[in-house]
């Protein structure tokens, strides 16, 4: 009798866990420079085309990045690094799969690599009257 009750309890718990799981997929890849060397520290962003929600990560020691547990759908995956052009690709995520999206960044124009600092606002003080 105990084993029947225990079995029913385990089955009920497992059914609850299975129904609570959300079906997801993953996007992963490697970021390279123009010479095919891996790029560490590139900023990678995934933006859902359906919801506009975004997630960011940084490419690892071997140029790798990943976005696990993404809901199914289309995502804009972008990569940025200092001195390189921003690159965007579309990836489609399906349940239970990994979509591989590798990037080879191109060297940016000088205007793409330079960021001018803002000028400090002028502060004019007047003596109290």
Strands 25-32 and 103-104, bridge-based pairing: parallel
For residue 13 the two structure tokens come to 């718990």
What is 13-48 written as a DSSP string? HHHHHHHHPPP-EEEEEEEE-TTS-B-SS-EEEEEE
Neighbour tally for 104: CB within 10 Å:
15
For 12-54, how does the pLDDT look when each residue is reduced to its tens digit (9 = 90+)?
444 444 546 789 999 999 999 999 999 999 999 999 999 999 9
For the chain, which domains are there? 23-113 (2.60.40.1120)
H or E element at residue 4: helix 2-20
Checking if the pLDDT of 4 tops 60, the result is no
Do residues 54 and 46 lie in contact, with contact meaning Cβ atoms separated by under 8 Å?
A: yes
Confidence tier at 10 by pLDDT (50, 70, 90): very low
């Amino acid at each position: 009798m105990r084993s029947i009750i225990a079995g029913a309890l385990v089955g009920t718990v497992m059914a609850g866990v299975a129904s609570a799981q959300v079906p997801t997929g993953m996007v992963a890849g490697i970021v390279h420079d123009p010479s095919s060397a891996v790029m560490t520290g590139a900023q990678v962003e995934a933006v859902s085309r359906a919801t506009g929600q975004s997630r960011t990560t940084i490419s690892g020691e071997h140029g790798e990045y990943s976005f696990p547990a993404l809901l199914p759908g289309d995502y804009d995956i972008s990569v940025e690094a200092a001195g390189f052009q921003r690159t965007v690709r579309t990836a489609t995520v399906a349940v239970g799969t990994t979509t591989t999206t590798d990037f080879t960044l191109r060297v940016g124009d000088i205007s793409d690599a330079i960021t001018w600092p803002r000028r400090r606002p002028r502060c004019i003080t007047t003596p109290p009257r």
